């Protein structure tokens, strides 16, 4: 091996080692994420409890709860799309529970459907607490004139409907037929670590291939 080949060889081996390490780290993250998702799934379907007095966005995320209260006629429509169904709205309504007002994501209804009449008297919802993170710099502002929102912006929705910034995503409720619950499940939580690992390992293979090709050319030029 000539001196000219040593530096490219070391550069190639070190670069490939770094890429393999990154892929391995992503595989470790994958195992951690799968364990976390299993814990979340188990928590989601646990027996519901009463709504905490001061829900915490970290400690109480996905907490199963059961609440009984009176639905308010006001509501927000959040534009969503369901696979094999089409476009529709999430219906977010205020629910008065004792001396508190919170938000309930009642579920999905098609764009062309009409919102059903409110149930009379107290109703019970069973679901999970959620602090959704759906708004970014590309999210359009809500069309307040048409009552169409493009993401669940919890602080803004709570301000618009004069409630606490507390959202329950219904698993079961009094709505039937027109509004279908969209309960939370682990499938909605991103888990792309396997794809990242494959990318890093693939880059390591390409890096080694390019290193081998460079060494071959150097050797041919030396002949």
Closest CA to 168 of 221, 101, 222, 219: 101
Asked if residue 97 is part of any domain, the answer here is yes
Asked if residue 54 is part of any domain, the answer here is no
Along the 223 residues of the chain, how does pLDDT read in single tens digits?
Answer: 567 778 878 888 888 899 899 989 988 888 877 777 777 777 777 889 999 999 999 889 889 999 999 999 999 999 998 887 889 999 999 999 999 999 999 999 998 888 888 888 899 999 999 998 888 888 999 999 999 999 999 999 999 999 999 999 998 888 777 888 888 876 666 778 889 889 989 999 998 888 888 888 877 776 6
User: Which letter, b or e, does each residue of 17-39 get, where b requires 16 or more Cβ atoms within 10 Å of its Cβ?
Assistant: eebbebbeebbebbeebeeeeee
Same domain, residue pair 82 and 135: yes
Q: Whole domain around residue 100: which residue ranges?
A: 63-183
Same domain, residue pair 177 and 198: no
Identify the burial level of 107 via C-beta atoms within 10 angstroms of its C-beta, where 0-12 means exposed, 13-18 middle and 19 or more buried: buried
pTM: 0.73
Same domain, residue pair 177 and 195: no
């Amino acid at each position: 091996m000539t001196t000219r080949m040593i530096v490219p060889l070391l550069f190639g081996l070190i670069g490939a080692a770094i890429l393999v390490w990154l892929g391995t780290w992503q595989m470790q993250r994958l195992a951690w994420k799968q364990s976390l998702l299993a814990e979340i799934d188990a928590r989601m379907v646990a027996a519901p409890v009463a709504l905490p007095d001061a829900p915490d966005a970290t400690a109480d995320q996905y907490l199963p709860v059961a609440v009984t209260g009176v639905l308010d006629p006001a509501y927000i429509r959040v534009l969503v799309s369901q696979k094999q169904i089409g476009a529709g709205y999430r219906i977010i309504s205020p629910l008065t529970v004792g001396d508190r007002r919170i938000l309930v994501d009642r579920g999905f209804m098609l764009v062309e459907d009409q919102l059903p009449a409110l149930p009379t008297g107290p109703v019970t919802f069973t679901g999970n607490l959620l602090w959704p993170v759906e708004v970014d710099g590309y999210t359009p502002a809500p069309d307040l004139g048409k009552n169409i929102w493009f993401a669940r912006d919890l602080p803004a929705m709570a301000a618009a409907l004069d409630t606490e910034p507390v959202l329950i995503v219904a698993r079961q409720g009094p709505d039937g037929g027109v509004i279908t619950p969209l309960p939370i499940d682990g499938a909605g939580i991103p888990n792309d670590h396997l794809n990242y690992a494959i990318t890093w390992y693939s880059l390591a293979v390409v890096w080694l291939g390019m290193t081998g090709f460079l060494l071959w050319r150097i050797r041919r030029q030396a002949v």
